[in-house]
Structure 1
Amino acid sequence: MFERIIRFAIEQRIVVMIAVLIMAGIGIYSYQKLPIDAVPDITNVQVQINTAAPGYSPLETEQRITFPGETAMAGLPGLQQTRSLSRSGLSQVTVIFKDGTDIFFARQLINERLQVAKEQLPEGVEAVMGPVSTGLGEIFLWTVEAEDGAVKEDGTPYTPTDLRVIQDWIIKPQLRNVPGVAEINTIGGYAKQFLVAPDPKRLATYKLTLNDLVAALESNNANVGAGYIERNGEQLLIRAPGQVASAEEIANIVISTVDGRPIR
């Protein structure tokens, strides 16, 4: 058999050379079309569970948040490994599955376990899953800056708070619609917020507590709907806008009344 192949290659030299050239050409063409990744993604199938717990020390975070989270993940189908990281005010649990496990199936399993684990977490602490991404996910950084001399419509210059508003409410929502974008994180600037600093002495004077103050702010910072009125084939919606929009409106909120006088 082997001798026949050698004899045929010698007798049909031209045919053999043509076949070799054709195969070489096919190889060169296939090499040019071969998809090559400079940094191949070798990340295993993993899901991260992040829990923010402001005010908790690393030890408290591990004992009260991380440990219940890891325990809840035990016994998942296809589970390979579970590792965690506990920091001051942050718990991160990484659940690793066997290769070939569907990432969305894995996230569904974890979501079911998280519903059970919520009962063991401290009040006000919520565990959420990270976005669908890999350890080699591409990261693009940008900055939002105001040019020299740029001013707002009222003539005042842009502040870090204004730039943060532009990032969170203009740029971020549009980039979230770009295919392939899993998550957008904002760092820097100042988030617009109203800070209420109560005076304990004045609260004690009127026999008020911090809970009374919080309840007054919550009840006076909500929109209320009252249905609608039909007139001439039209529906007129009735609503009472009650969300505060400025510090002056917060200052006018009535906390309680003493001898018929409102306390603000």
Structure 2
Amino acid sequence: NLPFALIGGIAALWLTGEYLSVPASVGFINLFGVAVLNGIVLVSYINKLRDEGMNQSEAVVIGCARRLRPVLMTAVVALLGLLPLALSHGIGSEVQRPLAIVVIGGLVSSTLLTLIVLPVLYQWFDRPDKPATLEEEPAR
């Protein structure tokens, strides 16, 4: 998930014309924590479904559907919390604005890519489904 977050954070800095500064770097640290958490929430639930015996494609679809709300709520709450900081123009805001811009941009890209790309990557790299085998009795 870190590349997904990094894409959005750098793009947000570039689009707004802000520079990479110490507050922006702190924003990246914050962003990486939230992005990793969202990825862990999604993948751990898919793994739980797989351990319960569900096949890979069903587990990915159901896991993404059931973990959509927690992933979105984490991102939306952080985004809304930092929106006033990103839009402020008061004294000292020019120092802290890059932090909010990095986190907001990174959360948007990370959340979208977590919900779209991560399930695809999971299916590519996860263990394949075991083929159904018949229980045979040993030869006598």
Give TM-score, length-normalised by structure 1: 0.21
Higher-Rg member (1/2): 1
Structure with the higher strand share, 1 or 2: 1
Give TM-score, length-normalised by structure 2: 0.35
Report which structure shows greater RCO (CA 8 Å, sep ≥6): 2
